[in-house]
Amino acid sequence: MDDLKTPPMRDPRRLLKRMRELMAVQENAQARLDHLTAMIAEEAGWDVCSIYLARQSNALELCATFGLKAEAVHHVRLQPGEGLVGLVARRARPLSTSNARAHPAFSYKPETGEEPFNTFVGVPILRGGRMVGVLTAQTSQERQVATDEIETLQTVAMVLAEIVASGDIVDSEEMAGLDVRQSRPERFQGGAFSGGIARGVAVLFEPHVESARLIADDPAREEERLDTAISSLRIQIDEMLDSGRIPFGGPTRDVLQAYRMFAHDRGWLERLREAVRRGLTAEAAVERVRNENRARLMKAADPTFRERLHDLEDLANRLLRHLNGGAKSAELPDNAIIIARNIGPAELLEFDREKLKGIALEEGSAQSHAAIVAKALGIPLVGRLEGALDQAEDGDPVILDGEFGVLHIRPQLDVTETYDARIQTLSERRLAYAELRGPAVSADGVRIGLHMNAGLLIELMALDETGADGVGLFRTEFQFMVAETLPRLSAQSAVYKSVLDAAGERPVVFRTLDLGGDKVAPFAPSTKEPNPALGWRAIRMGLDRPGLLRYQLRSLILAAAGRPLKVMFPMISAPWEVRAARDMLDRELRHAERAGYVMPSDVKVGIMLETPGMAWALEHAIDTVDFVAVGANDLMQYFFAADRQNSRVSDRYDVLSPAALDLLKRVRDICAEHDTPVSVCGEIASKPLEAAVLIGLGYRSLSMAAPNIGPIKKLVSGLDVEKLGTWLASRLQSPADSLRPLLLQAGEDAGLPREAVENGRGI
């Protein structure tokens, strides 16, 4: 057994130091790899050191060696899974044996001249969790391979991954066809959360650690930095959990509990420290351990392991931010498209808006705070693109389709040309819409009010650009969601005053706080509910915790000061809630008058009708309000009991079904009978065919996102309202599942312009 003893391990930090010096030398790619293999063999005491790199066919090609026959370089290729090298690549973990030829996976390649060598060790070369190649070492002596030796090779492999993925290696003639960087076109289908199309270059929100920051000058100092960052990370997580409130934009309590567990995991921490002791910087150690976790867990069939991977990824990203002192992202290149797992609204607002052209997220939702900001800024955002981060590299050409929820990475020429044509068409349409700044009047002379929805001051710049008649819905909750504490009275009032100033003579409808569900403020009480969308939210929270709502109403009154004030209460489900909310406003008006405030010149109170229960009870509350806004998004999903964002049930959600249209017509008729203004807010007001039908039902005011006003104004100009109204009236009692196909078939006979028919058909 003596011959199986391992020799004393040499200092791995000296090897890394020599590698860093080699990286600074100007030489061609092949020479650099040849020098690397010789240096590794010499410093680590091996007879053979070889580098195998992955080709686009997934075969592993011998690209450099010290100790094997030189003529085998670029001629020996191992198919996926072939031999000991292939086994290392398939498992994405190290392999060692004291008798290579006796191993069942051994594959003999006589052209390499490896007959004299018995002991074998191989480690994967990973970049971003993706297999770039395999680093191997061999010796003629049969012996055990020490854990320290494997650790050294893994550390070297991480540095090597960045070297082989550099431009010099990829572009060299000898390395043509290697898959050291992603090269194949990739297409991801996700969810369209903010419209528009963007062409640009990929910018990974959590990029690789730069190769210049991989090797440490002072390992003791790096270990100290790592320990300090880990302590800060633990304190942060503990404070977030123990405070009882999860900060806005942060993960859920369950995820934070997982973070806490992983942050105290001894195995994870020891692997980080060991990587630092071997000569890596603290950042490089985090990157190395993350790569190994990602490569291993992505191969797991059990989805729970992949969930653990997400937790470890987030934890690694948090730790890197602590190491960097919370440093902001680097400056964006022109035409940047951010690719991230998720992103917060504050982070999104920090980017240069001239350079940021789109956002692609592995997670996210249409109601997320990032989506709200992206819509406000007119930036395409696509979410639920699982796996996009692993397939993209910084600088890759990408196309982001916010209309259909698609991300193309490294698109082929025909795809690029198709999108260029679409972008040109959209640009021409925008120019045409920009000229339609006058009022929206139908072909038969019916005036339609088109208002915009907003939630940020920056959105109000579109009032003049679109020629909107006013702000039909200003969502007030965003100011609360991005604040760590309840905004002061003066701060709230200043925002509302700025909104009124920007609108000028045009009306603004302020919707009171719609918190709860997926909208969380760090200072507001929150509870874990089985169905948050149907839980304690909006006016329910405001009435149960009146201090928050009264504070906001007082701010609105202060902001109006001599100007008209229109206040709308959300998520009303019963008439008594309307009366209670209006009574609260009346009390605040009396308080303002007693305090000597400059009073609003006029106050109008409305409700956002979002529940079927309130739709059927509207007659009992109509005398309490001055106007009604139909919140069609929630009203229709509650009506159908189908989440419009859930692809499994979205085919059960069609607002053009006779039953849904009958409900919408009933609401409009009740309002008309009581001479109460009524409008429709939401997605259906922004879709040409659906908007046309709403107008045909008798609605004369629609509110939508600013980019949709131009297309709807163009639609209105070609619409024969009387003809469409007559056509609909005769078919509302139809047994058809939906009037959509009948409308598209009837086309102009139903008073529809060509644009509505083409859009409804997806042309």
**Distance of alpha carbon 160 from alpha carbon 211, whole angstroms:** 9
| Active-site choice (49, 63, 671, 681) | 681
**Distance of alpha carbon 557 from alpha carbon 226, whole angstroms:** 52
Determine whether 369 is an active site residue: yes
DSSP 549-597: HHHHHHHHHHHHTTSEEEEEE-S--SHHHHHHHHHHHHHHHHHHHHTTP
The identity of residue 616, as a single letter, is W
Three-state SS sequence of 67-123: CCCHHHCCCCEECCCCHHHHHHHHHCCCEEECCHHHCCCCCCCHHHCCCCCCEEEEE
Q: Identify the residue whose tokens are 């006796």.
A: 102
Determine whether 63 is an active site residue: no
Strands 406-409 and 186-189 come out as: antiparallel
**Distance of alpha carbon 652 from alpha carbon 318, whole angstroms:** 41
Contact 485/405 with Cβ under 8 angstroms?
no
Alpha helices in 561-708 (DSSP H): 575-594, 612-616, 632-640, 658-673, 683-686, 688-697
**Distance of alpha carbon 695 from alpha carbon 697, whole angstroms:** 5
Cβ neighbours of 294 (radius 10 Å): 21
Contact 379/356 with Cβ under 8 angstroms?
yes
Q: Work out the burial of residue 62: count CB atoms within 10 Å of its CB; fewer than 13 is exposed, 13-18 middle, 19 or more buried.
A: buried
| Active-site choice (369, 408, 451, 671) | 369
**Distance of alpha carbon 543 from alpha carbon 7, whole angstroms:** 75
3 in helix, strand or coil? helix
Contact 142/120 with Cβ under 8 angstroms?
no
| β-pair partners for 511 | 475, 568
**Distance of alpha carbon 155 from alpha carbon 159, whole angstroms:** 7
**Contacts (Cβ under 8 Å, ≥6 apart) of 501:** none
Contact 212/302 with Cβ under 8 angstroms?
no
Tell which residue, 561, 558, 554, 581, has the closest CA to residue 569.
Answer: 581
Residue 710 phi/psi, 5° resolution? Answer: -60, -55
**Distance of alpha carbon 560 from alpha carbon 501, whole angstroms:** 10
Strands 336-340 and 356-361 come out as: parallel
Tell which residue, 82, 83, 89, has the closest CA to residue 103.
Answer: 83
Cβ neighbours of 250 (radius 10 Å): 14
Contact 721/470 with Cβ under 8 angstroms?
no
Cβ neighbours of 296 (radius 10 Å): 17
Tell which residue, 498, 497, 509, 428, has the closest CA to residue 468.
Answer: 509
**Distance of alpha carbon 20 from alpha carbon 26, whole angstroms:** 12
- For residue 419, what is the DSSP state? H
Strands 602-609 and 627-631 come out as: parallel
**Distance of alpha carbon 390 from alpha carbon 306, whole angstroms:** 13
Q: Identify the residue whose tokens are 């209670």.
A: 580
**Distance of alpha carbon 738 from alpha carbon 595, whole angstroms:** 56
**Distance of alpha carbon 362 from alpha carbon 436, whole angstroms:** 37
- For residue 461, what is the DSSP state? G
Q: Work out the burial of residue 327: count CB atoms within 10 Å of its CB; fewer than 13 is exposed, 13-18 middle, 19 or more buried.
A: exposed
Could you give the residue numbers annotated as active site? 369, 681
